[in-house]
Amino acid sequence: MQTRELGRTGEKVSLICLGTMTWGEQNTEAEAHEQMDYAFGQGVTFFDAAEVYPVPPRAETQGRTETCIGDWFKKSGKRDQVFLATKVTGGMGGPGGMDYIRPGRVCLDRRDIAAAVDGSLKRLQTDRIDLYQIHWPGRRVNNFGKRGYVHDADENPVPLEETLAALGEIIKAGKVRYVGVSNETPWGVMRCLELSGMKDLPRIVSVQNPYNLLDRGYEVGLAEVSIRGQCGLLAYSPLAGGVLSGKYLDGARPAGARMTLFDRWKRYMVPNAEAATRRHVDIARQAGLEPAQMALAFVYSREFLTSSIIGATRVEQLKSNIAAAGITLSEDVLRAIEDVQNDIPNPCP
């Protein structure tokens, strides 16, 4: 398994990160443990979770994913061999109705961050988290499928400086080693880097944002920030929720598949996405590749990428996704992919 440096920490993480958001909803704990066993055996030693998982988020299931991981650590004894990441729930900038996580306003202040990290440590059955991430900004931004930015002059988010200071406190307490952001914008990443340099606040080491063949928006602005600012991308949804496998083409809804069970991921099911997906599937098959593996190999090859987060509901899917790390795409395939991007640019935000 290839590794890449996390920011400028000197820490190496596996090119593939194991995503976990289905554990406790679509997957049982036993299935989660089977996935961790297999991934770890293949050299995937980077696991990513969140306090809000599993998805779709519900009060009845919140925290189950971290519990699955904690139970695996206890059973396997492999905690010290895994680079563990999780996230604190964001504020007003993301999905609403999450006050079940903490009473009162859920935000990114000192109180919430202190409570969140302690809850995660308990569920994960560990004394420290290697990478602690802000799941989404505390201000309203164009993420989670929104294209345009609409400024709200009346909002009152927790200042980034206060959030970074709170993260600094849990680092000093030994509960967290490094910090990162997720679902963030170029302004937000640059502001975090600026504040860390000006005020001796923690420096973010990663940006966990969506990136796939249907959504290459990260290349506009954030790719340069990742390279020059040494805070690489942790790409989530590299298969656009499974759409790039081709299994949803022509209105198909396979039993047990994410898009069949839930309607949260409509961003990847728009008409232009179908047209682009069909062309990518054809490119892969003409090159003798599995469509999902071609899509993943493209993401793995990006210079601004630190690690790509792959999730699966079945071990067979996980095996195929991990194997894609050994594929090098030909120049002909890369040119064909660029032709699709030029004809149907970023159909999914």
Q: Which sign does the torsion angle of CA 268, 270, 276, 277 carry?
A: positive
Rg from Cα positions in the chain: 19
Report yes or no: 17 and 84 within 8 Å, Cβ to Cβ. Answer: no
Average pLDDT on 67-74 reads 98
Q: Is the pLDDT of residue 328 over 90?
A: yes
* C-alpha dihedral, 220 to 85 to 257 to 31, nearest 10°: 160
| Residue 232 parent element (H or E) | strand 232-235
pTM for this one? Answer: 0.95
Helices (H), the chain: 29-41, 64-76, 110-124, 160-172, 186-199, 222-228, 258-261, 271-286, 291-300, 315-323, 331-343
**Lowest-pLDDT range, 126-130, 137-141, 169-173, 207-211?**
137-141
Q: How confident is the model at residue 110 (pLDDT cuts 50, 70, 90)?
A: very high
Q: How confident is the model over 9-52, as pLDDT tens digits?
A: 999 999 999 999 999 999 999 999 999 999 999 999 999 999 99
Q: How confident is the model at residue 146 (pLDDT cuts 50, 70, 90)?
A: confident
Q: How confident is the model at residue 96 (pLDDT cuts 50, 70, 90)?
A: low
Average pLDDT on 119-128 reads 98
* pLDDT (0 to 100) of residue 171: 98
* pLDDT (0 to 100) of residue 56: 92
Q: Is the pLDDT of residue 188 over 60?
A: yes
* pLDDT (0 to 100) of residue 236: 98
Q: Is the pLDDT of residue 203 over 80?
A: yes
Q: Is the pLDDT of residue 105 over 90?
A: no
Ranges 1-10, 247-256, 265-274, most confident: 1-10
* pLDDT (0 to 100) of residue 99: 81
CB neighbour class for 209 (10 Å; exposed up to 12, middle 13-18, buried from 19): buried
Report yes or no: 198 and 190 within 8 Å, Cβ to Cβ. Answer: no
Average predicted confidence (pLDDT) for the chain: 94
Q: How confident is the model at residue 108 (pLDDT cuts 50, 70, 90)?
A: very high
* pLDDT (0 to 100) of residue 254: 80
Q: Is the pLDDT of residue 92 over 80?
A: no
Average pLDDT on 223-233 reads 98
Cα 223 to Cα 73, 229, 232: the distances in Å are 34, 10, 8
The partner residues of 132 in beta bridges, in order of sequence, read 86, 179
Residue 49 DSSP label = -
Q: How confident is the model over 332-342, as pLDDT tens digits?
A: 999 999 999 99
What is the phi/psi pair of residue 144, to 5°? 55, 45
Structure token pair of residue 231: 């805070």
Length of the chain: 349
Q: How confident is the model over 151-165, as pLDDT tens digits?
A: 989 888 999 999 999
* pLDDT (0 to 100) of residue 281: 98
Q: Which DSSP string corresponds to 241-264?
A: TTGGGTTTGGG---TT-HHHH--T
* pLDDT (0 to 100) of residue 263: 74
Is residue 27 classed as helix, strand or coil in its secondary structure?
Answer: strand
Residues annotated as catalytic (active site), given as ranges: 53
pLDDT higher at 110 or 104: 110
Q: How confident is the model at residue 283 (pLDDT cuts 50, 70, 90)?
A: very high
Question: Could you give the domains of the chain?
Answer: 3-208 (3.20.20.100)
Q: Is the pLDDT of residue 178 over 70?
A: yes
Average pLDDT on 303-312 reads 97
Average pLDDT on 116-124 reads 98
